[in-house]
Structures are given as structure tokens and as C-alpha cells.
Structure 1
Amino acid sequence: MNTMTQTAPTYTLGQLVFYMLRLGTFGFGGPVALAGYMRRDLVERLGWITEADYKEGLTLAQLAPGPMAAQLAIYLGFVHFRVLGATLVGLAFVIPSFLMVLALGWAYAHFGGLSWMQATFYGVGAAVVGIIAMSAYKLTTKTVGSDKLLWVIYLTLAAITFITESEIAWLFIAAGIIGWLRRAPPKWLQKGSVNGFAVGLLPAMSGALSGLDIPLLGHIALFFTKAGAFVFGSGLAIVPFLYGGVVTEHHWLNDRQFVDAVAVAMITPGPVVITVGFIGYLVAGFAGACVAALGTFLPCYLFTVLPAPYFKKYGHLPAVKAFVDGITAAAIGAISGSVLVIAKRSVIDIPTAAVALATVLLLWRFKKPQEPVIVVAAALFGLVVFPLLHAH
């Protein structure tokens, strides 16, 4: 029975949009924390969304590529207000943090050479390594657990990401297919799956398009759309993918700038993926920021709105779940590998090693997400220590 259409909403679309605007402005702690806030407020406190609809939204957000918290928000907008609700809620959730990274991008581009900016990010970069390490640990224990097949996928991807310092998109799909063939061997190979078909098509399309001589904004649009369409798992899963494209392949940013961009994502509320706006700004100004953000969020929007009506029917098939488990293990493996890659760039001396270690210990000791507090403390630490070390 379709619960989506059973009950009339007890709230207006305006109320939900305002809620998402507020969450996008003040919601810190990464995708898992943001999903938790939505459950606490919309399901438990306000009773706007049923537990069943919330769970379905969360499952779809985990199944589809793209930033999980943004997709969950889009799905919750779809529950009672269909495409209009999904669109407005998605925009309300993403725009506050996008405006913040634009402002930070402007400041960074204008003052990035100044010693206070370098000093701030000296401390913050190291804290980011600790935050990502802790996030990778939590995701690993929660998702991979004691599953031998998923461990093999996880370790393989972690090693490949560390060695190549880039993210190889087709390996994610391969991991999903391995999980699916091992767990739920198909009787319906002829039918295929729409998402699998789209995902198989993307590398072929991007291969054909990369040979064309398109202007910089075109390259940015293409790269970030590919990133948005391929990245499964938490928002941090996009980090190794972006590193491979932005630093290794296109040389748009150097290592230092890239780590700073990840740090900016940690400082701002809302989805971690919003760092694409900052990167886009550094590469091609305001237009670059808009194109990068649109490219990243459009696939996630479509992957939520298009399957939403069918998801109740097909989302629970063992084959779909096995495919996604494989991809998720691969994504978390890639995050773990990228921790080591980013650590090589950010943990450069004893003080930065101390900051990274302190971050891990604090997040280990205190369960509540305090990433923003840690990032601010690390920035202040950098402001004090960096000038002392680089006095001469």
C-alpha cells in the first residue's frame, strides 16, 4: 500500500522549506548527523513525516549516488509535495552553505597568500585529516562489519586509492556487480536495471566528450556532473574522487588548496559536498562555483526524484541491496585510502601530527558531533603556532 498518498500533510510546503533552510544554515556534523536531525525533528518532534517514509527516503539516499543528506531532504520534500516540494526543499537545504563557501572562496582567493590565512589552514588541514579518519572508521565498522566479501572490496579500494591517489569510477560499479552476483545471483539478467544502465553509459559518454575541445566551464560542468553521478556513500566519499580529478588529472588546484577546500566543507554547515562550490570558485570564479555546484547536485536530484515513485516496489529487492552493499564498501574503502593521501599533504610536522591525533581522540571520546568546534580550535592553534615556526 502506498503510504505516500494515504494521508494529507499536517504542514505546509512553506513550513518544510523554512525548516530545511534553517537546517542548511545551522546543521553541522556531516551527513549522518544531518539525517539524524531530520528524523528527530520531522518524524519524532513534529510528526510531519511517518517513520516508514523516512526509512524509505534514507534507504533511497544510500542506494543512489550523491550526497546522502541532500537526497534525504529532497525525498522528504517529495513525500507530500512531489516534484515541486523536492525541488524547493533541495534548494533550501543547499543554498545557505553554498553562499557561505562562495564568501569563503572569495576571501581565500583575495587573502589566500596572506600569512593569517595560511596559518589558519595549517591547523585546520590537520584537523580535517583526523575528522575524515574518524568518519572512515565509523562508516567501516557500521557498513563493512564482519562481512568477508565486503572487507575484500573495502581493502582493495583503499589500497588502489592510496597507490594511484585517484578514484577509479568503474571499480565502484564492479564492486557493486560482484556483491550482487555473489549475494543475489540474478534470474533476470535480461531486464537489467535502469540505474546500472545509466551508470554503464556514463563512462562511455564522458570518454566521448573528453576528446572535445570545450571551454573551461564545460570541463568543470562535465567533471562535477560525473563526480555527482558516481559518488556513493557519505559526502566524504567525493573527496578522493575530487582529488583525482582536480589535483592529479586537471591540475586546477595544488595539494594545499585542495586540503583547504575540504577544510572549508568542514567549517560550513549543510552537505560536505558543498566544497565543490569553493573549488569551482578558485578555478573559474563565481560562474565556476555555480557550474560545479549545479553539476554535482543535479544527478543527486534526478536520482532521487525519478526513482521515488517506483522505489516502494523495487527498493527492497535483495539484488538491489547486494549491489549497493558492494558499492558502499568500495566507497568507504576509497575514503579510507584518501585519508592517507590527504594526511601526507597536511600532517607535515609534529604540531600538525598532534592536531590530527587530538582530533581523533576528541571525536573518539565525545560522541556528539563537534567537528565545527574542533575546526575553530585548530584554526586558532594554527594562528598561534604557524607564525612561531615560520618566524625567520
Structure 2
Amino acid sequence: MNQISSQSESELERLLALSNLGIDYYEPKQGLNFLTELAAKICGTEISLVNLIDSFTQWSVSSYGIEISQMPREESVCQFTILNDPNEGLEVEDLSADERFKNKFYVKDAPNLRYYMGVPLTSPEGYNLGALCVMDSQMMHLSEDVKEILRLIARQVVDRLRVNNLVASLKNKLKESELNQKKLAHDIRGPIGGVIGLADLILDEEVTADPEEIMEYAEMIKFSSLSLLDLSKDILTKDFDGNSQRSRELKEGETNLVKLKDTILHLLTPQVTVKKIDFNIFLDQENQFESFSKLYILQILGNLLSNSIKFTHEGGEINVHMKLNRKELDLTLELIVEDNGKGMTRDKIQEILEDGTSTDHGTKGEIGFGLGLNLVRQLVNQQNGTIEIDSKLGEGTKFTIHLKVN
């Protein structure tokens, strides 16, 4: 039992390390395609992939020789690679002769893969986040020298992912600084307005003592105050229009409700199509074009939806409601995910909310890794958000999440 608990804790830490990279699996990854092609050329293989593995899915964030974006984690070869030592990796000279893979679709059907060599993508903290792999339709064997070069390329892939994340983080900090500047300008508008009001009172009063001097001072106060007020207005409106229906062009690290909907549909349509699930995303039109930080949003929503897909019967229904609420300069994202799947008991809900972990099988026997919802809870808490779960066994589940997304 302790060993299982230790393995679950280690896997959760791995998933958190992956989430902390803040990767949007839909967006192009700067600098990765060259490294992916280089791996295939050096190894002399037809195919090369950079795969990142979360709780449910293997995401191919860069590919050479094949067009693929995702597959269920339990169908992949790389799920075994990340269990290995980074200095070794996993080599399978004939996938069709290996009991684990001989019946997989990519072995029995096109591209009829036979050879596989994968090395873990290991973070500086020692977590295997995914794998760099090369594959071919012919049986092969790579020399140790070539394998060592593949490991070096894998390190470059990890470095590139970290650099991309650092750049996105710096851009977010810059945006935060700009927001603080706007808040500061917003805060000084009140006192300045008071000074103007006082100046108006002085100007309106019939003063007998040194009226010319008082009038002169009053005019100076009003002139200075109006100048400051105009300045603060310029700061508040610079590249920012809170009343505009369409926001400015989205920067890296940002999204809006319309863009988020398109991204989720692109990422998850293959999964819902396989199970013939009626999948709908509804947007609240107010603020739908307002930009906000997408940090952890895809990880949270992706894990929630993957969980719903897993536990919703074939032909079932999943609905997503997204709303962005603005209160002055604060933005709060409301996410609601509803399904008519298997549902959960009160004990199961309590287990999720109290840091418990267990593994269940999906409606089509999908293997669960028991950590998707645990990861969601941790990420929501990390963002000082809230999560509510309403579920009835045999009827379905509703998740409601609120996140500050300034």
C-alpha cells in the first residue's frame, strides 16, 4: 500500500512539473521541429516525435514523417519509456513481436511500425515529462553512439521547452506590471477628482480676503489636477479598452473565450468522436473577446474534460459553459463541465477534494491513472481558485471552477 501511495505521489509530482511548463498543446512550439527532424536524420528512421504525457493523453507537440497530435496514454509506447532511466531509454527492435504492442493499431495497420527507440525528456528536477522517440516500418538496431546523440537531442528539447516557458513567463510578468500601472492610475483618479472639486468650490465662493491670490492658486490647482487626470486616463486607456467588444490582438500567454473554445475543440474532438459523445461548448457573450492569462487553464480544463470523456458512456453528452466576469480590473473565469456519465459517490467526491487518489476504469475499459482530478484540484488551489463537484451515481457529474485570470 505504501509503495502504491509513493508511486501515486511521484506521478502527481511529475504531472505538476509538466503543468508548470504551461504548454499549450495546440500552439506551435518554437525551435522543436528542427530537433525532431534532426533526431530522425541521425537515426536514419522514417518518423520522429516529441511526446509529452499527461494523466490521460500522449500529446505529440512536434512530429517528423507523420501527422499525429495525440493518442490515449494507454495506447502509446512512450508510456513505458518514461518509466526508464534517462540514460537508458527504451528500444524495441520489432514491435510486432512484443506482447505489449503487437495488437496496437499503428503496428497492425498503417504505418505498420516495427522499430522504436525512445529516450525520456527529463526535467532538471528528475521528472520524465515525456519522450523523444524515433520509429520505422523496418526492424533496426541503433549503435550506442547514435543512442547517446539521441539523448543529447532530448536534453536540447527539454531546454527549448524551458526557454519557451521562461519567455512566456517574462511576458506574463510584463503584462502584470502594466496592469499594476493601470491600477495605480485608477487609484489616483479619486484624490485628483477631490482636488478638482475643492478648486471648483473655491472658484465658486465669494471670497473677500485676497480674492485675486485665492483665484490664482485655485486656477493653478485645477490646471495641475486636470493635467494629472488626463495623464492617468492615458495610462488607463493605452492599449486597453474595457468597453471594446473585440480585444486587441492576443499576445503569447493570452487567450480569450472564443480562442479557448477553438483550442479545446481542436484538442478533444478526436476523443469525443471515438465515443460518439455529443460535445458542446457554450460561451457567455459578455467579455468573450476580452484577453486573459491562459496559465494552467488548458491543463485544468483538459484534465476535467478527459475525465468526463472517460466516464461518459458511448453516445452520451458533455456540455461546457465558460464565462468571464469583470469587476473593475479583476477578471474571474467561470468553468462548468457537465456530463451524464457514471457519476460519483459522496465518498469519491470527498476523496478528490481531500487529496485522495484511486484508479477506476472508464465506460469503455479505459485505464485510469487516478491523478487527473487530483492534479486539477492542486492547480486550482495553486491559482487561489475554487472547485465544486455535484454528482449522482449513474446520472452524471458537474464541476464548477472559478479562477482569477488577471
Q: Specify if TM > 0.5.
A: no
Larger % of helix: which? Answer: 1
Q: Could you state the TM-score of these two structures normalised by the residue count of structure 1? A: 0.26
Q: Which has the higher relative contact order, 1 or 2, with Cα contacts under 8 A spaced 6 or more apart?
A: 1
Higher strand share: 2
**Which of the two has higher C-alpha Rg?**
2
